[in-house]
Chains A and B, each alone.
Chain A
């Protein structure tokens, strides 16, 4: 069980959080203008990274805020947490 450093509440058990998948997938501005392929790309396609992965979490049993996290999927090391809407901090941006 991970310890996740909620950017608002501080360090809490993973059990208080829910996982929200890959981060920085932006919803297209005008979906109706997209081809089926482009829409499917947004809707279904996600990376399956071994190593550093930028992902979203929500502190569902705490402050209910969403945030981003850089986690190494191979060993569960949490490298950074940063707010929703922010770009990844320098040390974890690829």
Chain B
């Protein structure tokens, strides 16, 4: 048997955790990778009571029906991605996906594991909105984009899901794994004028 492998997050090669220790207190924002989240894309009919209650039972969250919103339980977040599409996000080790799949086996719904497909880059702090605005046409002004709002769009020509987590403001930026290094490189360049610190979000 070969040596046991190491799981690698999408940005592992950038050694962000090591850089996180050199925090800069004057930084205009912080950036870090929230890796190894469990993620499932869920497809189904929002009007189907069995489907909605299955989501509620498994995740503890109401199925978000309102476009561009997130329902969170503190442990799990459910992001609205489309009229029949949601993203369930949970910490590493969660079994919410398989349980939901089981709960939906008699209805026309689909649960697909996409945990490995995207990583999350967390942007937080005073200039987080400015950095996003450099590459994304969404309106991130506090009047327009609020806590637990989400949207799919492009950031620096890369497809992303943006979820505002707090008023700090703090944003989770979901990016496809293969693009993650490109996006990080772009973000570092965009953030340079404000000064940034690498964070180690959990």
Contacts and interface: CB of A to CB of B under 8 A. Distances in A.
A9 B68 contact: yes
Nearest to B152: A62
Contacts of A63: 67, 81-83, 85, 152
Nearest to B154: A61
A15 B83 contact: no
Contacts of A10: 67-68
Nearest to B83: A8
Contact of A8 (B82, B137, B138): B82
B159 interface: yes
User: How many residues of B sit at the interface, in one of the four size bands?
Assistant: 10 to 19
Nearest to A61: B154
A66 to B, nearest CB: 11
B82 A65 contact: yes
Contacts of A61: 152-154, 159
A13 to B, nearest CB: 4
Contact of B153 (A62, A64, A65): A62
A24 interface: no
The 7 closest A-B pairs by CB, nearest first: A63-B82, A13-B137, A62-B152, A8-B83, A61-B154, A9-B67, A61-B159
Interface of B: 67-68, 81-83, 85, 137-138, 151-154, 159
26 contacts: A8-B67, A9-B67, A9-B82, A9-B151, A9-B152, A10-B67, A10-B68, A12-B137, A12-B138, A13-B137, A15-B137, A16-B137, A16-B154, A61-B153, A61-B154, A61-B159, A62-B151, A62-B152, A63-B67, A63-B81, A63-B82, A63-B83, A63-B152, A64-B82, A64-B85, A65-B83
